[in-house]
């Protein structure tokens, strides 16, 4: 097994810090230098926990800026647009001015991303407490100050996005899962039919990659924009969209993150003497943990998303199936998932360049080795599974993912995603969240 040398550690930490500094725009960090020149919601969570290893105050600023985009419903939008750029879909496409709940002072998109933020905040608090002094004071004060805002975010997901208490967070767009073109969404997207009145568009993402097969197809992209159109036409009202929109799916990984984050929020709150909202947070954690565990297919041992339009579970061997590892709650299942994740269908697959979590099992018929979320390895996903294993007391397995993840990043280009068989770097380079998780792995 790879063990980073002191030289590797120094080089990697130095270069990761340099990448984050280069992507720093003052009070927020762009997701990548040219492809994603804005602040993305779940990227910001990972970025903040990486920055915290270097500067706790700057890490807290990242989260504070993100909260500046929170809608009055509690929703944290998936993109905050702080300055004009050639990124598409841009604010003119999102047209969030139709929404009463939009924030003042910053343009945003109108959909969500996975709730990783409080998990990041609890890591930052942990770092700050290790450092003590001013860092600790600052971080504790930040938690006390922002507790109601995080709770409002979680409450939004638990109510507006789970009105019938399934215990699964409803997503209205594949982008809300963070895994845009994952085969998890193929069946629901088959029911998305762009209308003849959809405004025309020109993609800009393809200008940044050498090979279009690494990105979603044009057909997929038209569906993505059609759902944006449907959200606009519903004025970003969740109930109105639910009544009219084509894509409504209960997402197991978002639900597991909500459960884990809600537990951590309650933990931090009670440690810091907060009373209001701690019980509510625990109840949210319980409800969504139950929803995730209920979705597990006893045959495969993987959690399944629920298509709320058809009432059918979606059987796809994607890394989201390991949602129970993230939210915990069933010891035997955690051991089973640990073995599955490290075994020959997943990280232990004989063809993989590095034994790192692939977005889709290489043994699955859905696996595509170069296409975005259809097989490539995303370092943040590996970090998440390592974090989850650690939290369940599976330190040895967590460390195996950590070391393999560091081996993958030792070239220090911090790519957006990696071809799992050859190890080739794909997508953007100098991707902020990739650099950030390297810093956390090294800390």
Q: Which residues are catalytic?
A: 180, 416
CA separation (Å) from 360 to 35, 120, 323, 327? 24, 25, 14, 20
| Residues 148-207 interacting with ligand 9YW (rule: CB under 6 A) | 178, 180
Q: What is the nearest approach in angstroms of ligand 9YW to the Cβ of residue 108?
A: 13
Q: Which residues pair with 397 in a beta bridge?
A: none
Figure out which of the listed residues 15, 20, 30, 42 binds ligand 9YW, where binding follows CB under 6 A: 42
Stretch that binds ligand 9YW, among 34-42, 47-55, 120-128, 435-443 (CB under 6 A): 34-42
Burial letters for 318-348: b for 16+ Cβ neighbours within 10 Å, e otherwise? Answer: bbbbbbbbbbbbeeebbebbbebbbeeebbe
Stretch that binds ligand 9YW, among 37-45, 230-238, 260-268, 286-294 (CB under 6 A): 37-45
Figure out which of the listed residues 13, 19, 40, 184 binds ligand 9YW, where binding follows CB under 6 A: 40
Q: What is the nearest approach in angstroms of ligand 9YW to the Cβ of residue 170?
A: 18
- Cα–Cα distance between 27 and 11 in angstroms, integer? 26
Nearest residue (CB) to ligand 9YW, 40 versus 383: 40
Q: What is the nearest approach in angstroms of ligand 9YW to the Cβ of residue 133?
A: 33
- Cα–Cα distance between 252 and 184 in angstroms, integer? 11
CA separation (Å) from 288 to 52, 169, 239? 29, 8, 20
- 31 is a site residue for ligand 9YW (CB under 6 A): yes
Question: What is the CB neighbour count within 10 angstroms for residue 144?
Answer: 14
Q: Strands, E, within 21-136: which ranges?
A: 39-40, 79-81, 107-108
Q: What is the nearest approach in angstroms of ligand 9YW to the Cβ of residue 10?
A: 27
- 43 is a site residue for ligand 9YW (CB under 6 A): yes
Q: What is the nearest approach in angstroms of ligand 9YW to the Cβ of residue 167?
A: 24
Q: Which residues pair with 29 in a beta bridge?
A: 24
- 36 is a site residue for ligand 9YW (CB under 6 A): yes
Give the 3-state secondary structure of residue 299: coil
Nearest residue (CB) to ligand 9YW, 180 versus 246: 180
Give the residue from 334, 318, 379, 389 showing the smallest Cα distance to 354: 379
Q: What is the nearest approach in angstroms of ligand 9YW to the Cβ of residue 42?
A: 6
- Cα–Cα distance between 148 and 143 in angstroms, integer? 9
- Cα–Cα distance between 93 and 86 in angstroms, integer? 12
Q: At what angle do helices 41-51 and 117-131 cross, to 10 degrees?
A: 10
- What are the tokens at 418? 């990696």
Q: Binding residues for ligand 9YW, how many (CB under 6 A)?
A: 7
Residue nearest to ligand 9YW (CB): 178
Nearest residue (CB) to ligand 9YW, 253 versus 303: 253
- Scan for tokens 């905040």, then name that residue: 121
Give the residue from 135, 128, 77 showing the smallest Cα distance to 106: 77
- 288 is a site residue for ligand 9YW (CB under 6 A): no
Nearest residue (CB) to ligand 9YW, 46 versus 236: 46
Stretch that binds ligand 9YW, among 40-48, 252-260, 312-320, 337-345 (CB under 6 A): 40-48
Stretch that binds ligand 9YW, among 35-43, 122-130, 147-155, 188-196 (CB under 6 A): 35-43
- 375 is a site residue for ligand 9YW (CB under 6 A): no
- 251 is a site residue for ligand 9YW (CB under 6 A): no
Nearest residue (CB) to ligand 9YW, 31 versus 320: 31
- 383 is a site residue for ligand 9YW (CB under 6 A): no
Q: What is the nearest approach in angstroms of ligand 9YW to the Cβ of residue 417?
A: 9
Are β-strands 305-307 and 169-171 bridged in parallel, bridged antiparallel, or unpaired?
A: unpaired
The sign one gets for the Cα dihedral 175, 262, 160, 139 is: negative
- What are the tokens at 279? 């019980």
Q: Which residues bind ligand 9YW (CB under 6 A)?
A: 31, 36, 40, 42-43, 178, 180
């Amino acid at each position: 097994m790879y063990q980073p040398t002191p030289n590797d550690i120094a080089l990697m930490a130095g270069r990761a810090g340099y990448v984050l500094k280069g992507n720093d725009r003052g009070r927020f960090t762009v997701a990548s230098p040219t492809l994603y020149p804005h602040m993305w919601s779940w990227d910001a969570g990972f970025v903040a926990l990486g920055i915290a290893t270097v500067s706790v105050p700057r890490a807290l600023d990242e989260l504070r800026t993100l909260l500046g985009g929170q809608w009055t419903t509690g929703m944290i939008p998936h993109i905050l647009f702080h300055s004009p750029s050639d990124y598409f879909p841009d604010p003119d496409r999102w047209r969030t001015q139709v929404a009463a709940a939009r924030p003042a002072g910053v343009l945003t998109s109108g959909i969500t991303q996975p709730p990783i933020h409080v998990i990041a905040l609890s890591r930052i608090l942990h770092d700050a407490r290790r450092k003590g002094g001013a860092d600790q004071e600052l971080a504790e004060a930040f938690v006390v100050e922002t507790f109601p805002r995080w709770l409002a975010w979680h409450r939004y997901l638990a109510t507006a996005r789970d009105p019938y208490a399934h215990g699964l967070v409803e997503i209205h767009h594949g982008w809300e899962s963070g895994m845009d073109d994952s085969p998890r969404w193929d069946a629901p997207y088959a029911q998305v039919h762009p209308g003849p009145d959809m405004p025309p568009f020109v993609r800009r993402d393809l200008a940044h990659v050498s090979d279009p097969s690494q990105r979603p197809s044009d057909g997929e992209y038209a569906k993505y924009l059609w759902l944006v159109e449907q959200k606009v036409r519903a004025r970003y009202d969740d109930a109105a969209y639910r009544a009219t929109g084509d894509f409504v799916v209960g997402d197991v990984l978002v639900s597991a993150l909500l459960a884990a984050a809600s537990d951590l929020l309650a933990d931090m709150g009670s440690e810091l003497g907060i009373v209001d909202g701690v019980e509510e947070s625990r109840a949210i954690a319980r409800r969504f943990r139950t929803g995730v565990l209920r979705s597990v297919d006893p045959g495969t041992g993987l959690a399944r998303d629920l298509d709320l339009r058809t009432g059918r579970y979606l059987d796809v061997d994607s890394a989201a199936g390991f949602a129970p590892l993230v939210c915990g709650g069933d010891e035997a299942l955690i051991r089973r998932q640990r073995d599955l994740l490290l075994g020959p269908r997943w990280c232990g697959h004989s063809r993989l360049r590095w034994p790192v979590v692939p977005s889709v099992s290489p043994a699955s018929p859905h696996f595509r080795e170069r296409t975005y979320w259809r097989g490539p390895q995303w370092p943040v996903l590996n970090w998440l599974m390592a974090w989850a294993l650690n939290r369940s007391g599976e330190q040895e397995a967590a460390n195996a993912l950590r070391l393999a993840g560091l081996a993958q990043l030792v070239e220090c280009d911090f790519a957006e995603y990696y071809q799992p068989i050859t190890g080739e770097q794909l997508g953007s380079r100098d991707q902020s969240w990739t650099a950030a998780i390297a810093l956390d792995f090294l800390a």
